Amino acid sequence: MPLSHIEHFLVQTTDMARTRDWFVRALGVEFKQRQVDDQGLYQLFMFDPNGIKIELNYDSTEAQGLHAEVMASELRS
């Protein structure tokens, strides 16, 4: 049976401000933001050097004052 590849993985974590600062300022990593209201989540998506998508999930209370590029509710049809 052939091995499959990893498309992406997620981590439920805390301290979004510190994480964003470290990824952006220290490492220069670009990310996308998404709000998932029905689950109370705010998500950051980025890619590692091998092209694997990393999804970081935060409680939406950590995102006060931020504006997500995408609302998950807009993705559903």
Query: Can you give the residue ranges of every domain in the chain?
Result: 8-75
Tell me what pLDDT residue 2 has.
Answer: 59
Residue with tokens 């590849």: 5
More confident call, 9 vs 56: 56
pTM of the shown model: 0.80
Q: Is 59 exposed, middle or buried (0-12, 13-18, 19+ CB in 10 A)?
A: middle
pLDDT reading at 77 higher than 60: no
Question: How confident is the model at residue 45, as a pLDDT?
Answer: 93
| 3.20.20.140, 3.40.718.10, 3.10.180.10, 1.10.287.3510: CATH of 8-75 | 3.10.180.10
The Cα 43–Cα 46 span in angstroms is 10
- Please give the residue that has the higher pLDDT: either 37 or 4: 37
